[in-house]
């Protein structure tokens, strides 16, 4: 396992794939020391070997577990001399489909990972962040947290909550010189888009998006925006022109956005 040795450090959750892995690569190339944490230990091993064990440290982390958080932050602290420049609260899951067709246990998992996982992360990492001048927290939200998104209802609700939490903490922690912001991407080409529709269907979210002509952006665009969020002063960083258009339209033309979303819905199979 590597040590920071004076380098700036970033703690990344959901680092085994998608936005987390690409962000880890991006920061490592910029000379940062990267903490790679995920529930997927095999994926972590691949990313760690790619980045280099001298530039990173990795460990299992189920963001729902406070014990896992304690173990992960202890490991990270030992490698960074009790410093953390950035907490990237990125781990997330989604369940795609009509609300009543998503099993309630799966809906609970979405809330536990996407919202409680972020809250757990802030609690666990605050001591290290407070010890680090100009520390940052970047929480991954979503354009689905800007406008309520059908067939992603619970996911959308968690991302609205992450935005609210971020705005509140950014005010609360300002006197401790900790800036809190969100990464707010449009649909990014990551494994979360492969999440299947309810039982019996072999379709996934990406299939529906592609058929509907919805833009899907490369993961590199999100990683670049995380870098911008770490070095900028805004509260929310939107990824992709579609996310920017959605935010403007939801603010000034909410009725139009709702009509467009309704028109884009597929027919219910049991209708």
Question: Are residues 72 and 110 in contact, defined by beta-carbon separation less than 8 angstroms?
Answer: no
SS3 36: strand
Q: Extract long-range pairs of 20-24: CB within 8 Å, 24+ residues apart.
A: 20/88, 20/90, 20/91, 21/47, 22/219, 22/220, 22/222, 22/223, 23/88, 23/90, 23/222, 23/223, 23/226, 24/51, 24/56
Other beta carbons within 10 angstroms of residue 90's beta carbon come to 28
Closest by CA to 56, choosing from 101, 121, 120, 3, is 3
Q: Which residues are catalytic?
A: 155
Question: Are residues 145 and 189 in contact, defined by beta-carbon separation less than 8 angstroms?
Answer: no
Query: Residue 202 corresponds to which tokens in the numbers above?
Result: 């072999």
Burial 103-131 (b: 16+ CB within 10 A, else e): eeeebeebbbbbbbbbbbbbebbbebbee
Strands (E), the chain: 9-13, 33-38, 56-60, 86-89, 136-140, 179-185, 236-239
């Amino acid at each position: 396992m590597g040590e920071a040795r004076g380098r700036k450090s970033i703690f990344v959750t959901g680092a085994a794939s998608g936005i987390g892995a690409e962000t880890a690569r991006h920061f490592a190339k910029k000379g940062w020391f990267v903490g790679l944490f995920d529930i997927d230990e095999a994926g972590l091993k691949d990313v760690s070997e790619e980045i280099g064990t001298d530039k990173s440290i990795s460990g299992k982390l189920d963001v729902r577990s406070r014990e896992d958080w304690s173990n992960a932050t202890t490991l990270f602290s030992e490698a960074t001399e009790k410093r953390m420049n950035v907490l990237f609260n990125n781990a997330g899951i989604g369940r795609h489909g009509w609300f009543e067709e998503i099993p309630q246990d799966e809906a609970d998992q979405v809330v536990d990972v996407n919202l409680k996982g972020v809250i757990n992360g802030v609690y666990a990492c605050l001591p290290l962040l407070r010890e680090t001048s100009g520390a940052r927290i970047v929480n991954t939200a979503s354009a689905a947290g800007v406008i309520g998104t059908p067939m992603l209802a619970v996911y959308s609700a968690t991302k609205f909550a992450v935005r609210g939490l971020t705005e509140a903490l950014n005010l609360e922690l300002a006197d401790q010189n900790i800036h809190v912001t969100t990464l707010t991407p449009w649909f990014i080409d990551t494994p979360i888009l492969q999440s299947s529709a309810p039982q019996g269907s072999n379709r996934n979210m990406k299939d529906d998006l592609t058929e509907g002509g919805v833009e899907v952006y490369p993961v590199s665009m999100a990683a670049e925006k995380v870098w911008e969020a770490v070095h900028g002063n805004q509260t929310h960083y939107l990824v992709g022109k579609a996310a920017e258009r959605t935010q403007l339209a939801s603010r000034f033309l909410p009725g139009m956005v709702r009509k467009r979303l309704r028109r884009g819905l597929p027919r219910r199979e049991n209708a």
